[in-house]
Structure formats: C-alpha cells, structure tokens
Structure 1
Amino acid sequence: MSHAPAHHGHPTEPQDDAGPRRSWALLGVTLAAQILVVLDISVVNTALPRIGQSLHLAGGDLQWLVTAYLMMSGGGLLLGGRISDLLSRRGVFLTGLGLFTVASLVSGFSETGTQLVVARAVQGLSAALLTPSALSLITTTYSGAQRRAALALWGAVGSLGVAAGVLVGGAITTWSSWQFIFWVNAPIGLVAFVVGRRVIAREHTTVPARSAFDVPGAMTVIAGLATLVYTLGETATYGWWSVRTIVGLGASAVLLITFLKVEQRAARPLFPPHVWKLRSLVSGTTVMLGVTGILVGTVFLASIFMQTVMGFSALTTGLAFLPFAFAITAGTIVARHLLGHATPRAIAAAGLVLTAGAAVLLSTAPDGARYAADLLPGLVGLGLGVGMVFVPVSVTSMSGIPDSHAGVASGFLMTGHEIGAALGVAVLSAVASSAGSLATHDGAVHGFSRGLLAAAVIAGVVAVFALVRMPATRGAAGAGMHMHH
C-alpha cells in the first residue's frame, strides 16, 4: 500500500513489486508480539487442572481463565483499531506490548483465582491495543510483494499460534510450574519492546478531540461482545436452552443492535458504515471467524480426547499436536504459492473442503483409538486445510484499505479471529456434550465424534460462503479498491 495514494482513497498498486523495499525488522517485532497474543488463547488449556488445584478453583470457574482473556480482547479490538488510527500507531503498539508484558508477570504472581482472572482480562485489553496496531503497521509500512509476504506470515502466525500454544503449555506445565506459562512472555515482550522502539519510525500526529473516539459506540460494542463471549462460555455449564443462556444471548443482541444504532448517529463513528461495503474485508472476516472456530474447537476437543480416552499426559498431548502445527505451516506455504496461480476464493474453499473431509475422518476415531492410525491422518489433513484458508483471508481482507482506516479494518478482521475462537469452543463443546459428559471416558468418545461432525458441517457451509463472497480475481491480493472518507 503506497502511502500517498492510500491517504486520498485511490487504488493501491497492482499486484507487482511496486513501492520501496523496507527492512523486515518491523515485521519481526510485530509478529513476535502477535505470537504472544495468539499463544495466550490456548496456552492455558493444558495447564487448567494444575492451576485449579493450586488456586483452589471450582471446575466451573476454570473456563474464566480463558473466557476473561477472549472477552476483553474480542470486545476491545474495534476500539483498539480506532485508537491506533487516531493516535501514533507506534505509541499504541508499544503501550499495548508493555501492558501485555506487565499483565503476564502479574498473572504468574497471582495468589487467588480472582487476581488471575483480572490479570487475564488486562492481558486481553492489551491484546486489543496490540493486535490492530501491529497489523496496521504492517499494512502501512510494506507494499507490493513485501506486503503480500508479510500478510501471509501474519495469517500463518494466527493459525500456528493456537496449535503451538497446546504444546508450549503442556511442556511448561510438565517441566516447571504453571506460573512460567505467563512468565515466559516477559523476556520475549521486553526484547520486542526494546527493538520496537528502535525500528518503528515515529509519526507526527495531532491529538484528536475526545469525540473522535466514539466512546458510546466503544462501550456498547465491548459490552455486547463481552456478554456474548461470557454467555457462550457458560453454555458448557448451564446448557444452550437455560434461562441464563437465553437472557445472556438476548442482552448481547440488544447491546450489539444498540451499537449499530449509535454508529448511525455518531459524527465520528467507531466503525464507519462504509466499511461494510468493503466486500473483501467483510467476507474475509466471516471466513476468519468460521475457520478459527473450527481450529480452536477441534484443538479443545482433541486435547480432551487424548487425555481422557487415550490417557495422554499434558506433555504427550502437546507433542501429539506437533504434526498438526507442521501441517498448518505446510498449508500456509502451499497457499502462498497458489496465490499467484489461483483466486483467493478458490484457495480458501479448497482448504475448507479439505478441513471438512479431515474432520469427518477424525470423527470416526473409535474407543480404543491409536494415535498414528486414528488421529494423525485427520489432524494432518485438518492442519493443511486450515493453513490454506488463513493466508488468502489475511492477504485479501486488508487489500485496498487506506492508511487512515488500517487500524479499524485490522480490528474488525481480528475481532473475527477472537470471537471465532470463543464461538468454536462453545459451539463444538456444546454439541459434544450432548452425547454425555466430556469428563467421562464414554462421553469423551461419543462427544468427540459428534463435535467433529459438527466441525465438518461448519467447514462445508463456510466453504460455500467463501466461494460466493470472497474476491474472484487473483489481483485482489495486491490491488486496491476505492474507499471514501
């Protein structure tokens, strides 16, 4: 995205190597920060039993350690994106990174469940600042082939981090204490902060009026999305048709409708209405939501199956996901290569069809399942498919976004990622739980099968959507589109 034309709403450069070459140092810093954010979605999963014992948490309270993070990051991303558009992207990125690093240290030192949940919520809020500012820094710094390569890597990190988190969490929990799951973020965050201060160029920005931030819009969207994530998290305990769930979903719907009404009347809306007309961004975010849900939900169910049915330890479970992570990497490489030869919609749809087939294969895992024969082929196929989807989505969604809206567009795309993660666990675990308690051997066997069949159906529906709605031209990965302010 070349800077001058983007600011005036003209098309960005065609799919070539136009634009100056930039150092990859900024990409390295932003990807390091995003790895921390994505890892923290799943790294806690394998350590939950150990944390529960250490802090004397009831079984139903454990999910709050995951939900608090997703609630705040998913709810706050649009505001984080708006802040990074209005203020210095460098300043917002470094503030988010610093806050995330400190919150990680505090999480490790928590002595009660309440302290840890609050610290996780602050981590989530920091991620809401960090992620959109990092992605907008990438899209406004790089152009041409460099930009496509950078966005493809961003997509790979988004999917790989979730799978790698299970391995990292299992290894640290086994070899050390659960506290190190959080403390390990500190040195990485500190190095990224120091390097970021050196390599990210300072921007000259004027301080905007408070009305430019659209505080009423921000409060209603954060409340609406947080209520949605909270309610979805509670379905595992109370069920989908309980009064608690129905009231929660109703309250979330009211808040989100209120947000849309507020945006229509706001002089400087948090989410400009014309952004909805950017087909590549809206379709990409929808596919991002679906594929992240399948990925995170499958990781959740497969880790339960491995530990409850197959008797794997936390570390063995983490290692069992290693081929899955490698397959995701291979899928992103395949998709990156195919972008020059096929349309983004065709690549994403092919990846989703592969994902659906692999989910059906996994659903056939029997009671006496063996890893190599019954799980490995399906996990590898699913990893390849998911990896193939993330790249075209990440590359095409941010095409044609002017610099002035790069933050809010980044926030919109990554909201799909976070809400998808929460939805995936809630929906697939609810479907799985309809076959019995996932804490029992028989319930885990039948629940895994039912949950993976649901994942296959979702993958099929999203594949059709991708074919119909995603960009139909190869040039969409690099070409821009008009966007008026």
Structure 2
Amino acid sequence: MRGPRPVRHGKDAASGDGRGQGVESASRRPGEFGILLALAFAAFMTCLDNTVVNVALPRIQQSLRLDLPDLEWVAAAYPLTFAALLLTGGRSADIWGRRPTLLTGLALFTAASLLCGLARSGPVLIAFRGLQGVGAALVMPASLAVLARDLGPRARAAGIAVWMSALALALALGPVLGGLISQHWGWGWIFAINVPFGVLAAVTVARALPRGGRTVPGRGLVRAVALAGRFDPLGTGLSCLAAGACAFGLIEGVRLGLVPAVAVFAASALALALFVWRQHAARTPMVDLTLFRDRVFAGGLAAQVLWGLGVNGVLFLTALFLQRVLGLTPTEAGLAFTPVALFLILATPLVPVLVRVLGAHRACAGGLLTVAAGLLALARVGAGASPLDLLPGLVAIGAGSALTVPLTERTLDASPDEVSGATSGVVSAAREFAGLLGIAVLGAIVAHRQNTESDSKGASAAFVEGYQSGLLVASVFVAIGAVVAAVSLRPAPLAESRKNDG
C-alpha cells in the first residue's frame, strides 16, 4: 500500500524557511542516507511483526497450552494497541517532535520484542504484544512525518521507494521466517529478531536525524504539563475502550455467554458514540470528522476495512489449518503462504495500466472480487487436501490484493493537503483495526463451531467446518467491499464532463 503523500507548505516547503534550498540541502544531505536506512529498518520490523507470528501460532499454543481465544489474543493484542494509539502517535510527532517520538517508539518496540521472546505464559506474552503495538503506534506516524519533513525532494522520493520495498520484503519474508525460526530455534526467536533491527534503527535515528526546535516553551514539569494539554487523553481513552471492548466481546463471547457479551458490545458502542461526540467538541480533535463527508474518502476507507477484515482473519486461520489439519511443519506452512506475497508483488506493476484502462473504481472492485473468489476457492479445501490445492486461492488473494492499492491512493488524495497527516493516521488505524476485527470475527466463528460440535464430530472436524464457514463469511465481506469501491470511487459526473471538455 502506498504511504501518505509527503506535503510541505509555506515556510516548511522544500525551499526552506526563506533562506533558500541550498541551505537546507547543505545542512541535511549528509544525514539523508542514515535517515533512509533508519526508516527502512522501522518499516520492516513493524510490518514483519504482523506477518511473522501467524505461522508460529501452533507452536506457541502448544508450548504455552493456550486455547483458541487466548491464541487470538496473542495475534490480536499487537494490532489492537497499534490501531487504538496510531492517532495519538501522530499527534505526538506533531507536538513532542518527530525525533523523540520515533526514538521512544523504537525503544518500546525493541524492549517489548525482547520480553515477548522471554515470555513463558499466555498473559505475559499478550501483555508484551500489546506493548509492541504501543511502540509501533509511535514509530509508524513519526517515520512518515520524517519522510515528509526531514528529507530533500530527491531523498524523499527515494524514501518512499525504500519504505514500500521494506514493507513488501516483510510481507514476503514474514511467514517463511516465522516458520523456519519457530521450527528450528523456537518461537521466542521470532520476536527476538526485532531487537537488532530496533537497535540499529534507534542508533541511526539518533545520529542522522537533526534535533528539532521545541514546540512548547518551558522546562521540566512545566513543559510536560503544557505538552499533555495539547493531547486529547479523553479521546484516546474512549477510542481504546471502543476498540478493546469490541475485540473482547468477539474473542471472549463464547466463554462469556450471550448476556455478558451483549453488555460488552453495548459498552463498545457507547464508547464509540462518546468518541464521536468528543471529536465534535474538542478544540484539537484527533480525527477531523468532516473527512467522512467525502464520498471517495468514506467509501475507500470502508472498502479497505472490509478487505482487511476478510483477508487478515483468513491468514490467521489458514496458518492453523495448514499445521493442525494438513500436518505441515512450520517451515512448510510458511512457504505455503509465499504465493500471496509473490503474486501481490508481481501484479503491482500492472495496477497503473489497469487503472488507466478501466478506471480506479472498476480496477479496485475487480481486485476485491478476485480476492473474494480466492477465499471461496480456499473454502472448498478440506481435511484430505494437499498444499497444492490451496494454490489457486492463495494466488487469487495475492493478485487481487494488488489491485486494491488505488484504494489507499484515492482515499488519501480525497483529503486536503493541510490535513494529510491526520488522514494518513485515520487510514493506517482503520487498516490495523480491520486486521484485528478479522482475527476476532473469524476466530469467533471457529470457536463457536468447536464449542457446539466438537463432542459429536471431533475437534479436528469441527475446526475444519468452522474454518470453511469463516472463509465463506470473509468472502462476503470482501465482495461487499467490491460493491462499495465500485460506487464510491466512481468519478463524479462533473469531473467526467470537465475531463471530456479538456
């Protein structure tokens, strides 16, 4: 997915602060390579943590003796805190400064990764996975802000390429690394490999990134209070409560029972309503709600959420299916996922051509329908299948997902330049929350089947039926996303007439 468009305005533009481009280039060029290197490390490790864990989940479950809901928390704790605090992380980069926010995030993420690797119980691992998400929520927006503000025009273009390459590499290598490491070294090492990347990134940032001027005057406690006043702790708390309660209700619903689960969902809905009210009332809101009045922004965001809800949950469950049902080793299961990343990378260069020929709305809708078809193909795979039987579905998911790239581009382009940072935060948070919902919703379907049918059909058969049901539900979500994309990204009649006149 494409990152946010780096934008500069006024005195912050590439021409500098009025003293000329030459001054900026001379002062920043020596550290630009180091900054690019740090951004690559940061992008790689934060994305890798979303992909490397899935294949290792069966080993984690066996080692720590976790049931399915606890295993869902291991997978979901990271995207939960990541999504809930992304907007706060972006605000921190604006108020506290890009350099301290990025260094703090790298330190948190690196330390939490080490502690995850040393965890020997489910609750401890889940807690430190959540702390990883806190660190990533600081790293991601601060990295994008550095990309937009601390690099010259040429280095900024290179930075976008480096950033996207690092994300693609993490997507491709994550399942394979997760399988190899968990099988031959032990699952704890899948988290420990983040430590050298985090240390290198922090050292590089500290040396290469210039110290920014203070945004808030004063020192010590006075400055800390002034900084805190520029955040929105109530809005942050409400957003965390809404996301956390929703995830808790979905993951723990089977164990809670109907009435407590409904109460939890009601609390989540109330927190979400209060969060929206807070954004209307706050002097410095975390989210500009007027963005959602734009058809392209709202529709593009909804389509991305529906895609993420379907695909992320399936990848979580397929990792369990490959090892628990088909009997693959972690390494073999990791290799089985490579068609998704490979065909996503191979199909991406074709996307601009298809957008020019078909239009973004048709290209994205076609991509989402291709993903939905891939999910349906996977749903036909049963317990007696071979890994090759999954190949058509995985190829369709990867190639179709490549065609959804314009969703991010059109969503970001729909917002004014002066709020591009806030828009990027909303898009990133929605994408992470969609992954969390996918794990929770489809995991709840499997848990329900296991809870009601394990005694009569056996645990393995109940899991397979739940897995297939989850795939069918996921395909419906993605197909709805195709309809939303086709409608919301369709060019406006006025825009089309102006184009024809030109």
| Interval of TM-score (by shorter of Structure 1 and Structure 2) | 0.7 to 0.9
Cα distance change, pair 205–393 in 1 and its aligned pair in 2 (3 A): farther
Structure-1 residue corresponding to 2:317: 301
Which of structures 1 and 2 has the bigger CA Rg?
2
- Post-superposition CA distance 1:307-340 (Å, at most 9, x none): 2332112221111111222112123333255456
Q: CA deviation at 1:401?
A: 5.3
Structure-2 residue corresponding to 1:392: 406
Structure-1 residue corresponding to 2:467: 448
Decide which of 124, 131, 138 is 1:115's aligned counterpart: 124
- C-alpha separation between the residues in 1 aligned to 2:7 and 2:421? 16
The answer on whether the counterparts of 1:300 and 1:425 sit within 8 Å (CA) in structure 2 is yes
The answer on whether the counterparts of 2:72 and 2:439 sit within 8 Å (CA) in structure 1 is no
Structure-2 residue corresponding to 1:218: 236
Structure-2 residue corresponding to 1:68: 77
- C-alpha separation between the residues in 2 aligned to 1:90 and 1:342? 42
Structure-2 residue corresponding to 1:331: 347
Mapped pair 1:238 → 2:261: no
Cα distance change, pair 400–465 in 1 and its aligned pair in 2 (3 A): closer
- C-alpha separation between the residues in 1 aligned to 2:361 and 2:36? 26
- C-alpha separation between the residues in 2 aligned to 1:24 and 1:350? 39
Cα distance change, pair 326–24 in 1 and its aligned pair in 2 (3 A): farther
The answer on whether the counterparts of 2:243 and 2:268 sit within 8 Å (CA) in structure 1 is yes
Structure-2 residue corresponding to 1:481: none
Q: Which amino acid aligns with 2:378?
A: L
The answer on whether the counterparts of 1:156 and 1:328 sit within 8 Å (CA) in structure 2 is no
- C-alpha separation between the residues in 1 aligned to 2:491 and 2:337? 34
Decide which of 95, 103, 107 is 1:98's aligned counterpart: 107
Q: What is the correspondence of 1:361-400 to structure 2 with a 5 Å cutoff?
A: 361-372=377-388, 374-389=389-404, 391-399=405-413
Q: Which amino acid aligns with 2:9?
A: A
SS of 2:436's equivalent in the other structure is: helix
Cα distance change, pair 387–209 in 1 and its aligned pair in 2 (3 A): same
Decide which of 302, 306, 319 is 1:290's aligned counterpart: 306
Q: Which sits farther off after the overlay, 343-352 or 136-145?
A: 136-145
- C-alpha separation between the residues in 2 aligned to 1:147 and 1:337? 25
- C-alpha separation between the residues in 1 aligned to 2:160 and 2:263? 39
Higher relative contact order (CA 8 A, sep 6+): 1
Structure-1 residue corresponding to 2:368: 352
Q: What is the correspondence of 1:42-191 to structure 2 with a 5 Å cutoff?
A: 42-55=51-64, 57=66, 60-140=69-149, 161=170, 164-191=173-200
Q: CA deviation at 1:27?
A: 4.9
Q: Which amino acid aligns with 2:491?
A: A
Cα distance change, pair 270–67 in 1 and its aligned pair in 2 (3 A): same
- C-alpha separation between the residues in 1 aligned to 2:486 and 2:416? 26
- C-alpha separation between the residues in 2 aligned to 1:360 and 1:58? 27
Cα distance change, pair 428–311 in 1 and its aligned pair in 2 (3 A): same
TM-score by length of 1: 0.83
Decide which of 9, 12, 16 is 1:4's aligned counterpart: 9
Structure-2 residue corresponding to 1:479: none
- C-alpha separation between the residues in 1 aligned to 2:164 and 2:482? 18
- Post-superposition CA distance 1:206-242 (Å, at most 9, x none): 126533212211111122112222222224x438x72
Q: CA deviation at 1:131?
A: 1.6
Q: CA deviation at 1:360?
A: 1.8
- C-alpha separation between the residues in 2 aligned to 1:83 and 1:406? 16
Cα distance change, pair 457–428 in 1 and its aligned pair in 2 (3 A): same
Cα distance change, pair 311–293 in 1 and its aligned pair in 2 (3 A): same
Structure-2 residue corresponding to 1:413: 427
- C-alpha separation between the residues in 2 aligned to 1:74 and 1:335? 28
SS of 1:3's equivalent in the other structure is: coil
- State the superposition RMSD in angstroms: 3.3
Q: Which amino acid aligns with 1:118?
A: A
Q: CA deviation at 1:159?
A: 7.4
Q: Which amino acid aligns with 2:55?
A: T
What residue ranges of structure 2 are gaps of 5+ in the alignment? 1-5, 14-24, 217-225, 496-502
The answer on whether the counterparts of 2:58 and 2:320 sit within 8 Å (CA) in structure 1 is no
Structure-2 residue corresponding to 1:429: 443
Structure-1 residue corresponding to 2:245: 227
Q: Which sits farther off after the overlay, 333-342 or 82-91?
A: 333-342
SS of 1:213's equivalent in the other structure is: coil
Decide which of 473, 477, 482 is 1:463's aligned counterpart: 482
Q: What is the correspondence of 1:469-480 to structure 2 with a 5 Å cutoff?
A: 469-470=488-489, 472=491
- C-alpha separation between the residues in 2 aligned to 1:146 and 1:395? 21
Q: CA deviation at 1:173?
A: 0.7
Q: CA deviation at 1:440?
A: 2.9
TM-score by length of 2: 0.81
Decide which of 234, 257, 261 is 2:273's aligned counterpart: 257
Q: Percent same amino acid at aligned positions?
A: 32
Q: Which amino acid aligns with 1:194?
A: V
Q: CA deviation at 1:202?
A: 3.9
The answer on whether the counterparts of 1:92 and 1:129 sit within 8 Å (CA) in structure 2 is yes
Cα distance change, pair 61–446 in 1 and its aligned pair in 2 (3 A): closer
Structure-1 residue corresponding to 2:263: 247
- Post-superposition CA distance 1:334-390 (Å, at most 9, x none): 325545655333332121011112222222224421222x2111111111111221x
Q: CA deviation at 1:144?
A: 8.9
Cα distance change, pair 316–397 in 1 and its aligned pair in 2 (3 A): same
